[in-house]
Amino acid sequence: MGTRLSPPQIEGYERDGYVLFQEPVFAPSDFERLRAIFEENLDRYGESNLDLMHLREPRLLEFLLSDAVLDIVEPVIGPNIGLWSSHFISKPAMVGKATPWHEDSSYWSGLISTMEGICTLWLAIDTVDRENGAMKVIPGSHHNGFSEYEPVDSNANIFPTQIKSQFIDESRALYFELQPNQCSLHEARIMHGADANTSSRRRAGYTMRYFPTTSKVHLENIRWPHKLWLARGQDHAGNTFEN
């Protein structure tokens, strides 16, 4: 098994639903190439149109399917890994909206046979800290994944709903502060969000999402064009992958 995580990091992910990898993910030259691809596509499409970028930008597959990434993901997913999705996130200085408290799993009902094991690697492109809207999580909240939601102001938030406030203990929130080319991992069911970026600095990252191929992704239920890649190992659930 390829691994770049220590045993305490793996244990922490299983217990808390997240881990911070505060080391370079890519070699410096590779990270600079990835950052250049991001800047190019940000200029081309704008902040609000960066979802599923690898479907439009095949150069990203080199990074998404690289051992540098998969050796971080494999210890928490297992040896059989599928690439589900990726997207860039760019919150501009001063006006970047908040990300309300949510679980990724709440948006995927009916799209996959089980939420267990889905992992998101969030790669920092810019320096990320509390001042410019770092991601925050409620440690250990990944054992459910389907909370009750309430509406929020869509002018101030990137989603129109959030987990009902009575279920969130803000005093337990932990913030993911990262330098460029460092990353976090979080489990699909963990409660997480981010404050608005009111700083003078942009906050950009690249979200890479993977699933264990013991799970079946129901492509027929996804309402937009979608493709999967077998990143490592073998498929065990009858998934349809790109060649």
Q: Is the pLDDT of residue 120 over 70?
A: yes
What six digits make up the tokens of 220?
């027929």
Residue recorded with tokens 């046979």: 113
| 62-106 confidence digits (pLDDT tens) | 999 999 999 999 999 999 999 999 999 999 999 889 999 999 998
For the chain, the average pLDDT equals: 95
Other beta carbons within 10 Å of 17:
25
Q: What is the DSSP string of 69-122?
A: HHHHHHHHH-S-EEEEEEEEEEE-TTTBPBEEEE-GGGG-TTTBS--TT-EEEE
% of the chain beyond a pLDDT of 90: 91
| 202-216 confidence digits (pLDDT tens) | 999 999 999 999 999
Q: Is the pLDDT of residue 1 over 70?
A: no
Residue recorded with tokens 């998969």: 70
Residue recorded with tokens 């997207």: 87
216 DSSP β-pair partners: none
Are the C-beta atoms of residues 176 and 132 closer than 8 Å to each other? no
Q: What is the mean pLDDT of residues 126-136?
A: 97
The pTM of this model reads: 0.95
The rounded radius of gyration (Å) of the Cα atoms in the chain is 17
Question: Which domains, and CATH codes, for the chain?
Answer: 7-232 (2.60.120.620)
Side-chain-facing half-sphere of 42: CA atoms under 13 Å: 18
Are the C-beta atoms of residues 103 and 145 closer than 8 Å to each other? yes
